[in-house]
Each structure stands twice: as structure tokens, then as C-alpha cells.
Structure 1
Amino acid sequence: MSEPVNDADKTLRLHDLHAFYGKSHVLHGVSLVVKPGEIVSLLGRNGAGRSTTVKTIMGLVEGRGSVQWRGEEILGHPAFDIAHRGIGYVPENRDIFPRLTVHQNLMLGEKCKAKSPRWSCDDMYQLFPRLKERQHTEAGVLSGGEQQMLTLCRTLMGDPDLVMIDEPTEGLAPRIVEQVAEYLKELQRRGLAVLLVEQKLTIALQISGRCYVMGHGRIVFEGTPADLRANAYIRKEWLEV
């Protein structure tokens, strides 16, 4: 099957998306759009449905409705097919291979295809010099921040056009959080789109062009970071603890 190559087609569109864990109805009609080169944040409290949204996009949770990527319906496709179509996913639990080295983990992320990929191991080591220092170290002994860097980089090695990242700053030191923010901005500079699931409002509002807020499996707000800063009701009702 040939893939569209026009950048204008590299848009993710969710329409009336519902998702289920068995008989439990988790998402209730979620609609959102991520355009090429955008950083879009998906915000909300724990249990709001943010992680379920990206897992449903990725084919890991049963859903109904519509998930379109590059103008084609992908809802219900297996995760490997969605990845090959150009969507990368960085899970919250990182999912590194602990007995393999940093370099071996990166190599496992490579997508085999005819054209030259945009990213190489050298690119990853330039983005995160600490990974270069640890490239021959087993991934299981890395710090939490180093494992997060490795997971982000391994996903990039698959040469995606859109990266969905679930809570990348969870449990990280402030210095590493800033590194992750710079990494995400570098992805945008290189033309990738990012759908960011995040609880830290400061980082999300700093780097995002648009934000969605979820509550009880629904989108309850859509707008710019400035719009969200100005909407005290939404922040109090759906974000603040």
C-alpha cells in the first residue's frame, strides 16, 4: 500500500472516539486534531482518559468512532501497522529492554525501509550526550531520567511523523524536565508533530501551541495556552488538585 507523502496529509483527526476496557466505557466521544509540526498537549487529572486516548489511537485499546491519519482510517488496526504508518508512541512506563545496552535498545527502534531515515544513533547521542556516555551500559541500571531519554530516542529511531508521549516528565528532576522540554521543541523544529500527555502545566503551556483538557473521558476545553491561563474555571474544575 502506498503512503501519502504530502506534509499537509500528515494530520491526526479523532472524531467521536469511544473506548472500552471490557464492559467499562472510558472515552465518551473524544474529538481532537493534531496538525503537522504542532505540539498539542492533552491535559487533565489522573483517570480523565488521557492515556486511554493515546492507547486507543495506537491500537492498544478497543475503540469505536474515527481515528484518521493522513486521511486514512486507522482505528482497529494493529499497533505495528500504525507504527509503520508513521506514528510513534512513548508509553508512561518506558518499556526499555533492561538486559540490552543503550545502543542495542536504540537499534531495536530502527525502522527498516528503503529511504534514508531522518534520525540516527549519532543524532540521539547529540540530543542527549549522557546516552552516548552510557551507550554500552545495560539499560536496566540507568537512572529514571536516563531511561526516559532512551525511550524517547528509541521511538525516534522508527522515523515517525507524529510522536505521542505519555507523561514524559513524571518523577524526573527539574533539570531533566527542562531537557525533555528542549527535546520536544527540537522535534518540532525538525517538522514532527507531538501529542503530549502531561500533568505539569508549566511545561505543557510553555511548549504547546494548543491544549485540550479532558475530564471524565470527554474533552472539556480546547484552546491556546493563553486561553487556558485566562480560564480560571477550567483550571479549577478540571486541572487543579
Structure 2
Amino acid sequence: MTQPMLKVTDLHAYYGKSHVLRGVNMEIMPGEVIALLGRNGVGRSTTAKAIMGEVAPKGEVTFKGQPISGLESHKIAHLGLGYVPESRDIFPTMTVRENLILGIKNMKKPGKYSVDDMLDMFTNLRARADNPAGVLSGGEKQMLTMCRTLMGDPELVIIDEPTEGLAPKIVHQIGDMIAEIAKTGVAILLVEQKLSIALRIANRVYVMGHGEIVWSGTPEEFRDRDDVRKEWLEV
């Protein structure tokens, strides 16, 4: 039986005295796309940060069978776990091409993606390859952040709120981009509020409420659960 690529067991996290995560449990299999849904403030982004070591986790997180709880973020990344934060961190004065090169973890051992692969896959970036990244639109910056993460050759990518604040047309493009990434065999944990994009590309769905997972199932099962959507997602 195939083992989970990422397994989270009884994960707790705190901001000061505030108990944000209250025993989160989830699994992601190799090549699987998981959507983590929920209202703002329920702990979805904190879950991503706790997995990546940006928030101190209490509980067990394993990646490819190896415990990673408590490791520093850069060490977790070097194990093959990529992270695209909602802040869209880029280096604005460097060119798009230079930003992509910064994502390479080992210059002596290239990963499966080259800079040209990324520019071929996402033509918006190809046209601006030698422009400063700071002139990109919000959607293009999101594309660049995801592409730079892929340059590190991750086996699993956590993508936090990629469509936040973007126009509907760009939201669809970002969804297509994530679907393209999934086709290459990279597993994805997608933290998202927009059901349209999440249900279109996910294999399974986790719904979070009050710092814990309150429901899980397939997109098809989720579509039949108006009660779950009304109680945990609708404002």
C-alpha cells in the first residue's frame, strides 16, 4: 500500500496564548491535489505555516515517512516540500529570469524544470522575462512565485490563497496553472476560498473550522453536502 507523502497528526499551533490549531489531521498521497477550504481565520494558513516550520508546531508532521516537526523551514524545503505564501514574495528589482534562477536549490544538479520550461509553460512571464519583477501585475507575480518554487524541484507544493484579490479572468489562469503543475506529478496542498477553482482541480477536499478538520471527502461528495457548505463556508 502506498504511504502518504505528507501526514499531519494531532497538529496544534499557537500565536502567543491564542490556540489556533486544535488537533489537525490530514494526509496527502503522492501526486494528489488536496484543497483545504474554510472561512478566513479558521487556521488554514496557520496549518501551512506549521507544516513548513514558520509557526512552531505541536504534534506530528511527516514527509515521505520522515518526521519534520520542529525542523527549520529551509531544511524542510530541501527535503522536497515547496511553499508558495499568500504574500507573493518576489525580488522586485531583479528580472523575472533572475527571480526564477534564485529558486534553484542545487546549481550542480538541475531539477526537472529549467527557466525556459517555466517561461514556455507560462507565456505571460516569457514576454516579461528580462523586465524587473516589480512591474508585473498581481496575477503575474503569483505565477512567478509558483514558478520560482517549482525551480526548487519539490515533490509537494503548499500554495496559500493564490487567487486572493485577483480578477476573475486571472483566477481562471491561476487555476489552469495549478492544474498544469499537478499534471507533472507534483502533489499539491491548495489553501483556497474560491470553490470553483478548488473543486475543479482537487482530488480530495478538507474543510476546516475552529482550528480543526470538520469534514473531508471528494469534490463530488462535497457538492452533495449543502449542510457542510452552509455551516462552515458561507458567510
TM-score normalised by the chain length of structure 1: 0.94
Which residue identity is paired with 2:196? T
Q: Which residue of 198, 218, 230 maps to 2:224? A: 230
Output one character per residue of 1:133-174: Cα deviation in whole Å (capped at 9) or x when no partner: 111111112110110111010100010000000011112222
Q: Which residue of 50, 53, 72 maps to 1:59? A: 53
2:178 alignment counterpart: 184
Secondary structure of the 1:205 match is helix
Contact 2:4–2:27 (Cα < 8 Å) also in 1? no
Percent identity (aligned): 58
For residues 78-93 of structure 1, what are the structure 2 equivalents within 5 Å? 78-93=72-87
Output one character per residue of 1:19-66: Cα deviation in whole Å (capped at 9) or x when no partner: 111221110000000111111000000001000000000000011100
Q: Which residue of 23, 29, 32 maps to 2:23? A: 29
2:113 alignment counterpart: 119
Matched, 1:110 2:109: no
* Total equivalences in the alignment: 234
1:44 alignment counterpart: 38
Contact 1:96–1:105 (Cα < 8 Å) also in 2? yes
Alignment partners' CA distance in 2, 1:137 and 1:173: 23
Secondary structure of the 2:147 match is helix
**Cα offset, 1:116, TM superposition:** 3.6
Matched, 1:196 2:190: yes
Change (3 A) 1:110 1:9: farther
**Cα offset, 1:184, TM superposition:** 1.4
Contact 1:212–1:219 (Cα < 8 Å) also in 2? yes
Change (3 A) 1:225 1:10: closer
Q: Which residue of 105, 118, 143 maps to 1:149? A: 143
2:12 alignment counterpart: 18
Alignment partners' CA distance in 2, 1:165 and 1:92: 8
Contact 1:10–1:161 (Cα < 8 Å) also in 2? no
Which residue identity is paired with 1:225? P
Output one character per residue of 1:58-92: Cα deviation in whole Å (capped at 9) or x when no partner: 00001110000010100100000000000000000
TM-score normalised by the chain length of structure 2: 0.96
Contact 2:13–2:22 (Cα < 8 Å) also in 1? yes
Secondary structure of the 1:33 match is strand
Alignment partners' CA distance in 1, 2:107 and 2:80: 12
User: Moved runs in structure 1, 4+ residues, more than 6 A?
Assistant: none
Contact 1:21–1:62 (Cα < 8 Å) also in 2? no
Alignment partners' CA distance in 2, 1:110 and 1:22: 35
Secondary structure of the 1:178 match is helix
Output one character per residue of 1:167-221: Cα deviation in whole Å (capped at 9) or x when no partner: 1111222222222112112222111100000000011011101000001101000
Change (3 A) 1:138 1:113: closer
Q: Structure 2: 5+ residue runs without aligned partners?
A: none
Q: Which moved more, 1:193-202 or 1:167-176?
A: 167-176
1:3 alignment counterpart: none
Q: Indicate the RMSD between aligned Cα atoms, in angstroms.
A: 1.2
Which residue identity is paired with 1:157? M
1:4 alignment counterpart: none
